[in-house]
Amino acid sequence: MPRRGDRQDRQPAKHEAVADVGRLDPLRRASPVEQFARIAFPISIIVATFFVFAPALSAEFLNWDDDMNFRENPSFRGLSAGHIQWMFQSGYMGHYQPLSWLSLAIDYERSGGLDHPDKFHRTNVALHALTAVLFYFLARRLLRLAFASQPVQTGAGEPSSLALCCAAALAALLFALHPLRVESVAWITERRDVLSGVFFVGSLLAYLRGVAPGRTEVRSHGWHLLSVLLVLLSLLSKAWGMALPIIMLVLDVYPLRRISFDAGRLLSRQSLKVVYQKIPFFLLAAFAGTTAIMAQRTVDWGVMSLNKYSLSGRVAQALYGIAYYPLRTLLPTNLATIYEIPKGLSLDSRPVMLGAVVTVVITGALIALVRKFPAGLAVWICYLVTVAPVLGVAQSGMQIVADRYSYLSCIGFPLLAAGGLLWLWVHRGEGLREAFYGTASVAAVAVFILAILTYREAGFWKTSITLWTRTVQVIPDSFIAWINYGNARFLAGDKPGALDCGLRAIKLNPESGNAWQLLGSVYNSLNRFDEAEHAFVQARAYYINPLHTDLEMGWAYVRWGKFDKAIPLLNSAMTDAKYRPFALLYLGLAHRRQGQFDLAVREMEQAFAMEPKLAKNYSPELEKARQRR
């Protein structure tokens, strides 16, 4: 005999629409066409994703964190116990991402080193394609639940299995082939985005399999435990899975209807039971938040203090960012690698005020329409909680927004678009046939245009030169872009072009240590010693971490024969592991020229052992030292 308190679990109230999944189950009575669609759509999504991101498959490592993460970081290069220990203990570059490092180490091993970046890129694209396929299945289930949760209306049809597959495929393609995805997919450093995305979407799919619409109990503990495991794996790849427990609660309200809309029943025993089920997820989220903050504290550019970045500036950035990503989703043109925080950003600046108006209008409208359009508010809340950590409240870096932050935060918007088209299909017999076919045509054209834009955007990420050439075209006032463009041209042998970039960067920001560092290196290569020394002195004054300048300045002094100035700087640079082999080499060259041949041989041999590639150009110097000792 059921208890009175359990009646709503077993017999929902008549005025509540509880999902009758069975009547919309696409696995029942599927026609041959529907069976073919269920196989063809996932394969088509994978093929389309690889085709559109084809330019990224042959791309290089970029001088945008790829150099520091991979070329200057030997710690991830292997799968030994020591390497794995480093992965799970390190907050390198301000991120705790052990699984991402593990996946990169596997790529390193199967590539035989860093000479084949294409294999790293293939993994990125494959992970993105896998996320898109999982999102297809997630979208199909959510759309089925959403339409099943609505009362059947007279004259309205029900979405067939084929219609659900088509709508889910549309959502997956709008997600996968959007230009905003390029930064996360084409940039090897953002492996954490695409890897965490697989587990993020997979955890939601497992969660939906583990619970029943309109029921507070867990239907399948196996699926529920799998969702917990996938959340953990997502958090070990990147911390933005912290939003998952809140997203699951939103899904419990709509479309699962496990928690009632009614304010008086939000704190009922049944609702609290559903909330208690999220305790493991919230504990994992707390762990991820703690490790993320600790990782940020390991770098100089970590979370800024209020003295460096005011509270009003953070609020202004947040208001701008909230509106930026939905608007960019609608108009993804002129994307750039870096969007610097503008000087004088304030609450009364026009972009911030526009962002505030957009945020208030959207939020207010969705709250007002929540009874008729609950999906809109559900998606909006999921967007806000996912994007919140990168809105600037705990600001790290110099970007006001970044396209990569849209990778998972905006995943609900394609779902709304697909749901709207499916709603028109269901109601096409009510005078909306033309609207349905017109909207379907627009959707098909939109996917095609987005695919073209994404293919083009991926091409910009092919090399450092193409990336920064495009960036300075779009954002000509970015001193960071000019510095990186100059470094790319310098490495390519274009010294005059690098000098021009460095001078442009200094003009935009005279207090940039990186810009002065670039000028010093270029002047040194051009044998303009006095100008190089001045630039290096300026770089050491402004550089957050001057060890790189110590290395370059020390090498310049070795070239000029000023060994008394060179040796202290090179010894300073040796305190950083990534500079140690170069500092040892330059010290060896300095000691050889001073006649200290035994010391020179020992230092150069150590340098070659740490970085074998140095031997290619400097082996003759070592042989000269050996012959003279």
Run means of pLDDT, 10 residues per run, the chain, 629 residues: 40 41 48 85 97 97 94 92 96 94 97 93 98 98 89 59 94 98 98 98 97 93 97 96 96 92 70 92 94 81 69 90 96 94 87 93 95 95 95 81 96 97 88 88 96 98 97 96 97 96 96 94 93 93 84 92 93 88 93 91 92 86 82
> Are residues 479 and 449 part of one domain?
no
Q: Nearest CA to 93 among 430, 440, 578, 554?
A: 578
510 shares its domain with 446: no
Q: For residues 100 and 127, is the Cβ–Cβ distance under 8 A? A: no
How far CA 94 is from CA of 237, 299, 514, in Å, comes to 13, 6, 19
The answer to whether residues 406 and 520 belong to one domain is no
Whether 22 is covered by a domain: the verdict is no
Domain termination site, one of 439, 460, 481: 460
Q: How many angstroms separate the CA atoms of 483 and 478, rounded?
A: 9
- Same structural domain for residues 158 and 239? yes
Classify strands 339-340 and 399-401 as parallel, antiparallel or unpaired: antiparallel
Does 469 reside within a domain?
A: yes
Q: How many distinct structural domains can be found in the chain? A: 2
The residue among 183, 191, 29 whose CA lies nearest residue 122 is 191
Does the residue 480 lie in any domain? yes
Residue 498 shares a structural domain with residue 394: no
Please report the pLDDT score of residue 418 as a whole number.
Answer: 97
Query: The domain that contains 570 carries what CATH number?
Result: 1.25.40.10
Where among 419, 436, 460 does a domain terminate? 460
- Is residue 557 in a domain? yes
Say if residue 367 is in the same domain as residue 402: yes
The parent domain of residue 205 ranges over 4-15+27-299+309-460
Count the alpha carbons within 13 Å of 199 in the hemisphere toward its beta carbon: 24
Instruction: Show which of 437, 460, 483 is a domain's final residue.
Output: 460
Least Cα distance to 229 among 203, 204, 194 occurs for 203
442 in the same domain as 578: no
- Pick from 491, 461, 402: nearest CA to 121: 461
452 and 579 in a single domain? The answer is no
Based on the domain organization, do 482 and 455 belong to the same domain?
Answer: no
3-state secondary structure 89-158: HCCHHHCCCHHHHHHHHHHHHHHCCCCCHHHHHHHHHHHHHHHHHHHHHHHHHHHHHHHHCCCCCCCCCC
- Provide the pLDDT for residue 306: 67
Amino acid at position 314, single letter: R
Residue 528 maps to a domain:
yes
Residue 20 included in any domain: no
What is the structure's pLDDT at 151?
A: 56
The helix/strand count (H/E) of the chain reads as: 30, 2
Are 238 and 120 found together in one domain?
yes
Residue 280 lies in a domain: yes
Q: If you ran DSSP here, which 8-state letter would residue 77 be given?
A: S
Q: Is the peptide bond before 255 cis (omega within 30 degrees of 0)?
A: yes
* Contact between residue 144 and residue 24 where contact means Cβ atoms under 8 Å apart: yes
Give me 252's structure tokens: 């419990």
pLDDT for residue 22: 41
Q: Are residues 326 and 374 in the same domain?
A: yes
Handedness of CA 241, 242, 243, 247 (dihedral sign): positive
Structural domain contains residue 304? no
309 φ, ψ to 5°? -145, 110
Same domain, 89 and 102: yes
